[in-house]
Structure 1
C-alpha cells in the first residue's frame, strides 16, 4: 500500500479514528455503552451500526481507549467505591492514549483488510486476518488485563473469516471485548448479529457536522446547509464532497436540470467531459453518486408534494418541484434511478467511456422529465 493511500479504516482526507479525540452527535450511543459498563453487565460483543461516516470507527476507538485505561471497579474500601464514569473521555496524556496513538497498545488489536502477497490491498477480510487474533490473545493474556478487538468493517469479512470470528463470539476469551463496525449489518451472518449488542449511530445534524468537520481540518463550506443535505449527516461523505468539489458539481447538475425541457447540451457535455478527464476517477464516481442523490430527491419531492429541505444547491427546490409535481412522477423518477444504476454499473463493468456514460444518463433524465409536462 502506498504512503498516499489511507488504510481501509480511514476516510480519505480525514484523520485516522485513533487520532480523533472527540465524537459529535452520538451522545445516545455513548450513554448506552456507559450504562452497560456501569451496570457491570458489559457484553463481550458490540455491533456499531449506522450510515458511513457518522462516527462508528471513532466510537470504537473511544470505547477501546476507555476500556483499556479504566481500571475495574473495586469493592467498597476505606473511602467507598469510586463514582461510576460518566464519559468515555480519556486524558490525552494517559499512557494508554499515547500507546494507542503510536500503535503500540498490547491490549488492542485492529482487524482490517490486509495486503496480499503482491502488496495489494485485498477486497475483503480473509480468515488469516481473524486467525492472527489467536496470537494476540496468547501474547496478552499473561497480565490478566482487559483486551479489545476492533473489526472495521465487519461487512468486509468473507465467509471463512466470518465463521472464524463467530467462534470467538461463541467462546470469547476472558476479559475481551469485540467491537464490530458495520455499515450494512444485513451482510453479516445472523448468528454474528445475534451474539452482539447493537449500538446504532444516527446521521449528524448541520451543527454537529460542522463541528466534526472542523476537527478533521477540512475547509468549511460557504453554505453548510447545502453540504449537510448532500452528505445526509455523514462527516465522511462531507469530507469527500469538500475534497472533490462535490458542492459545485451538484450545483451544476441542478442547473442543467433547470434548463429542461430545452436542456443545455453544451453544459451537459462539459460536465461529462470533466468526469472523463485523466485521473478523475474519484470525481466520476462522485458524479454518479450525486446523480443518484438528485434522482432520489426528485422522487421524494413527488411522493411528499414538497422538495426536501434544506436545499442542496441554489434553486434546487424550484427545479425539483417543477420536474416532480405528482406521485406519478415520483414513481417515474424512482424507476429511472433504478434503471440508471443498472446501466452505469454495466457501463463501468465493460469499461464504457465515462463521458458517454454520463451523457447517456443525462439524456435518460431528460426523457423522464418530458413525462412531467
Structure 2
C-alpha cells in the first residue's frame, strides 16, 4: 500500500498492528487460543472483543503470524517461527495465505470508505479459490464496520468455512454484530491493561509512558490519543456541561474544529471525549462522582448524574449518539453537523435531569 494512503485499521502516529511484534497484558487471551490450538481442534471463527486500544488487532496479527509460519502441533507461545519466509510477506500484505478486510480507500472521493462493503467480502471468494490447500487466515478489522450486506456475506463463510480457514474478527462493540455471527465464533475477551503493560505498550507504539494519565483507562490507543490533544478536547467538552446553560459559542467552536478532511482525527477524538463523559456520567449516577474526577469534569458529572435514573438515561444516550454518528459518517454527513447533533442531544437530556 502507498504510504500516502491512510490505513483504516491504523491509529494516527502509531505503527500498524501487523508491525507490532509484542502484545502486553493479554496473556489470558493468548493462553486461551493456544489451548484451543493444542487440543487439535481449533475453532475456525474467532471474535476478539474488548475496549478500543487494548491490543485486539495486535493479537489478531500475532495469531495470523503463528498460523502462517508452520506452527508445531503443540505450542507454548504464539511467537512465530523465527526467520520464516512468510513473515516479511505478512508485513508487506503480500502473503498468499492472508486476507485483510477493512474499510477501503475511495480513489474518487480521496478518502477512506465509511464501511466495509459487500464487494470487499466478496474478494474472499477469489482468495480462497486461488489459495486452495494449506492454512489461510482472514482478519476483519473491525467487524463493526461491516455494512448489512457485507455482514451477511461473511456469515455464509462462517457457516460453511473453507478447509484450513481461520477468520479473526476484531470488534469493539460485539453487541452491534449479527447474533448469528457472534454465535459462530469463539470469543476472546481482552481487558484494560495494567499500568506496567500499558507503559510498555505505549513505549512500543512510539509514545511517552510518562504522559499516561488515568483517563487512558488501560487503553494504549486512548493514552496515545490523549497525549496528542485528546485530553484538551475532553476538558473542553466537560467544561461545556459543568454549568446549567450551554455556551453555544464554545459548543460551536468544538464542532467547527472537526470540519473538513483535516478534521477527521479531531472528529474521532471529539466523539471519544463525548463517549467518555457519558459513560463516566452513567457510572457516577450509580456509584457517585469518581474520586479521580477534578475541576470541570467533577462539576459536570455531579450535575448530569445525581441519581440512578439519570445513569440509565446517559447509557442510552451514549449508545444513541454512537449509532447516529456511525450512520451519519456512512452517508457522508458533515463532521461539524455530527458533533453539533451529539452536543445538542446531550444538552437536551441534561435539561431533563
Report the TM-score, using the length of structure 2 for normalisation. 0.79
Q: 2:271 aligned with 1:301, yes or no?
A: no
Deviation at 1:198, TM superposition (A): 1.3
Partner in structure 2 of residue 26 of structure 1: 26
Deviation at 1:366, TM superposition (A): 8.1
CA RMSD across the alignment: 3.9
Alpha-carbon separation, structure 2, partners of 1:52 and 1:96: 28
Q: 1:54 is paired with a residue of what secondary structure? A: coil
Q: 2:93 aligned with 1:99, yes or no?
A: no
Q: 2:213 is paired with a residue of what secondary structure? A: helix
Alpha-carbon separation, structure 1, partners of 2:343 and 2:160: 55
The one-character-per-residue Cα deviations of 1:136-170 (angstroms, maximum 9, x if unpaired) are: 223222xx421111122222223333333223222
Q: 1:69 is paired with a residue of what secondary structure? A: coil
Partner in structure 1 of residue 223 of structure 2: 238
Query: Does the CA contact (< 8 Å) of 1:56 and 1:181 recur in 2?
Result: yes
Alpha-carbon separation, structure 1, partners of 2:350 and 2:169: 43
The one-character-per-residue Cα deviations of 1:218-252 (angstroms, maximum 9, x if unpaired) are: 24454x33332xxx433223322222x12123335
Q: Which runs of 5+ in 1 are unaligned?
A: 74-83
Mean alpha-carbon deviation: is it higher for 294-303 or for 322-331? 322-331
Partner in structure 1 of residue 80 of structure 2: 90
The one-character-per-residue Cα deviations of 1:15-61 (angstroms, maximum 9, x if unpaired) are: 11100111122111111000000111111111112222221111111
The one-character-per-residue Cα deviations of 1:101-160 (angstroms, maximum 9, x if unpaired) are: 12221211112223457365433222322222222223222xx42111112222222333
Q: How does 1:171-182 map to 2 (within 5 A)?
A: 171-182=160-171
Q: 2:146 aligned with 1:163, yes or no?
A: no
Alpha-carbon separation, structure 1, partners of 2:274 and 2:57: 28
Alpha-carbon separation, structure 2, partners of 1:116 and 1:134: 22
Q: 2:76 is paired with a residue of what secondary structure? A: coil
Alpha-carbon separation, structure 2, partners of 1:316 and 1:114: 39
Instruction: Identify if the C-alpha distance between structure 1 residues 252 and 114 changes in structure 2 by more than 3 Å, giving closer, same or farther.
Output: closer
Give the one of 193, 215, 225 matched to 2:213: 225
Give the one of 117, 125, 130 matched to 2:121: 130
Query: Does the CA contact (< 8 Å) of 1:340 and 1:361 recur in 2?
Result: no
Partner in structure 1 of residue 174 of structure 2: 185
Alpha-carbon separation, structure 1, partners of 2:179 and 2:301: 42
Alpha-carbon separation, structure 1, partners of 2:151 and 2:346: 41
Instruction: Identify if the C-alpha distance between structure 1 residues 339 and 17 changes in structure 2 by more than 3 Å, giving closer, same or farther.
Output: closer
Instruction: Identify if the C-alpha distance between structure 1 residues 215 and 271 changes in structure 2 by more than 3 Å, giving closer, same or farther.
Output: farther
Q: 2:163 is paired with a residue of what secondary structure? A: coil
Deviation at 1:66, TM superposition (A): 0.4
Instruction: Identify if the C-alpha distance between structure 1 residues 252 and 156 changes in structure 2 by more than 3 Å, giving closer, same or farther.
Output: closer
Alpha-carbon separation, structure 1, partners of 2:65 and 2:11: 20
Deviation at 1:202, TM superposition (A): 1.4
Instruction: Identify if the C-alpha distance between structure 1 residues 355 and 102 changes in structure 2 by more than 3 Å, giving closer, same or farther.
Output: closer
Alpha-carbon separation, structure 2, partners of 1:155 and 1:6: 19
Partner in structure 1 of residue 103 of structure 2: 113
Give the one of 286, 308, 320 matched to 2:269: 286
Query: Does the CA contact (< 8 Å) of 2:44 and 2:167 recur in 1?
Result: yes
Alpha-carbon separation, structure 1, partners of 2:114 and 2:277: 29
Mean alpha-carbon deviation: is it higher for 115-124 or for 29-38? 115-124
Instruction: Identify if the C-alpha distance between structure 1 residues 275 and 210 changes in structure 2 by more than 3 Å, giving closer, same or farther.
Output: farther
Alpha-carbon separation, structure 1, partners of 2:140 and 2:346: 40
Q: 2:36 is paired with a residue of what secondary structure? A: helix
Report the TM-score, using the length of structure 1 for normalisation. 0.75
Aligned length: 344
Instruction: Identify if the C-alpha distance between structure 1 residues 100 and 359 changes in structure 2 by more than 3 Å, giving closer, same or farther.
Output: closer
